[in-house]
């Protein structure tokens, strides 16, 4: 997701997952994302969440 230079983390749940958004350079596209912690503290797996068609 190199085309998304801006990231915002909103909250963390009890499983250590982080919910947030990714934005492109001109802020015309915003995607919901979820960071899942990898086992043994080895980093994160980023997942793009679905976007509902009715949301502009």
pTM of the model: 0.78
Task: Report the pLDDT averaged over residues 5-19.
Answer: 95
Burial label for 30, CB within 10 Å (0-12, 13-18, 19+), is middle
Q: Judge whether 47 and 33 are in contact, CB under 8 Å.
A: yes
Domain ranges of the chain: 1-30
Q: Judge whether 34 and 47 are in contact, CB under 8 Å.
A: yes
d(CA 35, CA 12): 9
- Grade residue 11 by pLDDT with cuts at 50, 70 and 90: very high
- Grade residue 56 by pLDDT with cuts at 50, 70 and 90: low
pLDDT tens digit sequence for 13-51: 999 999 999 999 998 888 999 999 999 989 999 999 998
């Amino acid at each position: 997701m190199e085309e998304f230079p801006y990231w915002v983390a909103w909250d963390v749940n009890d499983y250590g997952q982080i919910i947030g958004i990714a934005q492109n350079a001109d802020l015309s596209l915003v995607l919901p994302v979820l960071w899942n912690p990898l086992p043994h503290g080895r980093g994160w797996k980023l997942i793009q969440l679905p976007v509902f068609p009715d949301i502009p």
